[in-house]
Amino acid sequence: MATLRVDEIHKILRERIEQYNRKVGIENIGRVVQVGDGIARIIGLGEIMLGELVKFAEGTRGIALNLESKNVGIVLMGDGLMIQEGSFVKATGRIAQIPVSEAYLGRVVNALAKPIDGKGEIIASESRLIESPAPSIISRHSVYGPLQTGLIAIDSMIPIGCGQRELIIGDRQTGKRAVATDAILNQKGQGVICVYVAIGQRESSVAQVVTTFHEEGAMEYTIVVAEMADSPATLQYLAPYTGAALAEYLMYRERHTLIIYDDLSKQAQAYRQMSLLLRRPPGREAYPGDVFYVHSRLLERAAKLISLLGEGSMTALPIVETQSGDVSAYIPTNVISITDGQIFLSADLFNAGIRPAINVGISVSRVGSAAQIKAMKQVASKSKLELAQFAELQAFAQFASALDKTSQNQLARGRQLRELLKQSQANPLPVEEQIATIYSGTRGYLDLLEIEQIEIRLRPIGFEPIPKKEYGAGSGNRTRNPKVMSLMSYQTALYS
């Protein structure tokens, strides 16, 4: 019996030795020497990479941002209250990344791509770097296709193309978010996937935007990435990159995407807070010297891909808040120099009841008519010039006692055009209705009407007759103009 037992033991040992697979691994482990305010300083991580994920013994994760000779500065991704000085930190060897999938459509997630809408986990089999390199010059196609926002003032005079980066800039409470959300609402049925990134916003504001998306049926094609005002600065800094990674994933799958960054001023402030805590030297307005690179490497990821890569596109509409209209501040000038144009919203126009309060004179699109369909090019070619001349003449008319007939007609035409550009929130117009609206204004079909008589209403052709007054093609013609009636897909209601 004893002999059998020895043989069995030998057999078991022999099998174990044959199955033994020796693996030699090196783990990069450091120790916490200082922690506080969302920042941890680590010694011993000699082989760590910039942007590498680290894992603390307490379970919290962080990202390496400062690689100094004596220690490494780590920004914490979450609550660091449990981390103690002297605890161990392990480098994962992986750059920060998030899971990506089309299952994110219709969901609200945080900067770590974890759902926060209470609808359960999101299944994703792929992952993508939070900060991946932008498409190269060879991979890009020139911007040529329009991305319609549904706003007459933008689509006619400041057109946006698929793959463009157009800045929305203005003071607080001037309707910047409304312009961006209307652009998302207008993508319904257009095959464009939208990503709305809320950075440092109030929870009530984000909830209101999400509710609007649900009511208008826009959540079906929209992903919301939200980090509220009470979130750690690290997560507010990462939120735009997370949104860009989700949009990029869809872009490389031959889809058209639109991403809204609301807003990059908050991200710059979060990055400034992190940098000052990491003891980086402050520069202009106390921002670190590389804050320009923070925004440039984010916005450069927007592109229109060549046909070899599927012709997908990623259109970026970053929002930047100004103080008292000062566009010469550090962050506004940075982002203006990165983007392909800007839409400037004026507080004076907003207070005067002009919504959207777009200052057409200093707003510009560097893509121009390449991002417009042929009909819009023909109709809207001279509307911006007429509005600019109207603004100049209006300023002159305040000091003039009497104006000649030509100037009076030009002022009247400019007021009518400005009235036609007014639009209520969450009411985007299809491009064919925009063309009809601009055509009726620029060709003089509304010259006989008073400003109070012009009001845009969405109605089908022939739904209701024009009350009390008639359309006129010009001076002396007071009969209905069948050309106008056939062009208009809605009616201009007249009130006397």
Residue-wise pLDDT tens digits, 268-312: 999 999 999 999 999 999 999 999 999 999 999 999 999 999 999
128 is catalytic: no
Active-site choice (14, 284, 366, 457): 366
212 neighbors 219 (Cβ within 8 angstroms):
no
Could you tell me the CA-to-CA distances from 253 to 100, 101, 129, 257, 403 in Å, in that order? 12, 11, 16, 10, 59
Residue 442 — φ and ψ, nearest 5°?
Answer: -80, -20
Residue 369: predicted pLDDT? 84
256 neighbors 299 (Cβ within 8 angstroms):
no
When pLDDT is cut at 50, 70 and 90, the band that residue 485 belongs to is very low
When pLDDT is cut at 50, 70 and 90, the band that residue 3 belongs to is low
When pLDDT is cut at 50, 70 and 90, the band that residue 240 belongs to is very high
Distance CA 437, CA 419 (A): 11
Could you tell me the CA-to-CA distances from 237 to 88, 112, 157, 311 in Å, in that order? 26, 11, 33, 30
Flag the least confident range among 176-190, 357-371, 446-460: 446-460
Distance CA 212, CA 375 (A): 31
Residue 464: predicted pLDDT? 39
Q: Among 216, 283, 138, 141, which Cα is nearest to 426's?
A: 216
For helices 233-251 and 291-299, give the axis angle rounded to 10 degrees.
20
Q: Residue 285 CB: number of other CB atoms within 10 A?
A: 11
Q: Among 97, 99, 186, 139, which Cα is nearest to 313's?
A: 139
Beta-bridged to residue 345, according to DSSP, are: 170, 358
Q: Is the peptide bond before 482 cis (omega within 30 degrees of 0)?
A: no
Could you tell me the CA-to-CA distances from 130 to 49, 219, 234 in Å, in that order? 15, 23, 13
Distance CA 313, CA 197 (A): 18
Distance CA 93, CA 28 (A): 9
400 or 197: whose pLDDT is higher? 197
Q: Residue 117 CB: number of other CB atoms within 10 A?
A: 13
Q: Which string of DSSP letters, residue by residue, matches 96-117?
A: -EEEE-GGGTT-EE-TTS-B-S
383 neighbors 414 (Cβ within 8 angstroms):
no
272 neighbors 334 (Cβ within 8 angstroms):
no
Residue-wise pLDDT tens digits, 425-449: 889 999 999 999 898 888 888 877 7
Distance CA 364, CA 360 (A): 8
Mean pLDDT score of the chain: 86
Distance CA 463, CA 379 (A): 25
When pLDDT is cut at 50, 70 and 90, the band that residue 340 belongs to is very high
Q: What is the DSSP letter of 160?
A: -
Element spanning 375, H or E = helix 374-380
Element spanning 17, H or E = helix 2-19
When pLDDT is cut at 50, 70 and 90, the band that residue 11 belongs to is confident
